[in-house]
Amino acid sequence: MRAFVALIVCFVCTLGSAQAETIFVSNEQDNTVGVIDGSALKLVKTIKVGRRPRGIALSPDAAKLFVAVGDDDRIDVIDVKSGKVTGKLPSGEDPEMFALSPDGKRMFISNENDNLVTAIDVSTGKKAGSVPVGVEPEGMAVSHDGKLVACTSETTSMVHLIDAATMKAVANYLVDPRPRFVAFSPDDKTVWVTSELRGTLTALDAETGKQLAHVSFPVRGLTKEQVQAVGITLSKDGNRLFVSLGPANRVAEVDPQNFTVTRMFLVGNRVWHTALSPDGKRLYTANGNSGDVSVIDLESNQVVKSIKAGRGPWGLAVAP
pTM as predicted = 0.93
State the pLDDT at residue 18: 52
Task: Quote the percentage of the chain above a pLDDT of 90.
Answer: 92
Q: How far is CA 238 from the centre of its chain?
A: 16
State the pLDDT at residue 8: 46
pLDDT digits (tens, 9 = 90+) for 237-262: 999 999 999 999 999 999 999 999 99
CB 193 within 8 A of CB 135: no
Strands 32-37 and 42-48: antiparallel
Longest dimension (CA), the chain: 66
Res. 16 pLDDT band, cuts 50 70 90:
very low
> Among 241, 242, 216, 244, which Cα is nearest to 230's?
244
Read off the pLDDT of each residue in 93-112 and give the average, rounded to a whole number.
96
Distance between CA 46 and CA 168 in Å, rounded? 39
| DSSP E strand stretches across 32-134 | 32-37, 42-48, 53-58, 64-69, 74-79, 84-90, 95-100, 106-111, 116-121, 127-132
The domain ranges of the chain are 20-319
Read off the pLDDT of each residue in 255-270 and give the average, rounded to a whole number.
97
Mean pLDDT across the chain? 94
Q: What is the CATH number of domain 20-319?
A: 2.130.10.10
Res. 4 pLDDT band, cuts 50 70 90:
very low
pLDDT at 11 over 50: no
pLDDT at 198 over 90: yes
pLDDT at 13 over 70: no
State the pLDDT at residue 20: 85
pLDDT at 197 over 50: yes
Task: Quote the percentage of the chain above a pLDDT of 70.
Answer: 94
pLDDT digits (tens, 9 = 90+) for 104-139: 999 999 999 999 999 999 999 999 999 999 999 999
pLDDT at 5 over 50: no
pLDDT at 12 over 90: no
Read off the pLDDT of each residue in 267-281 and give the average, rounded to a whole number.
98
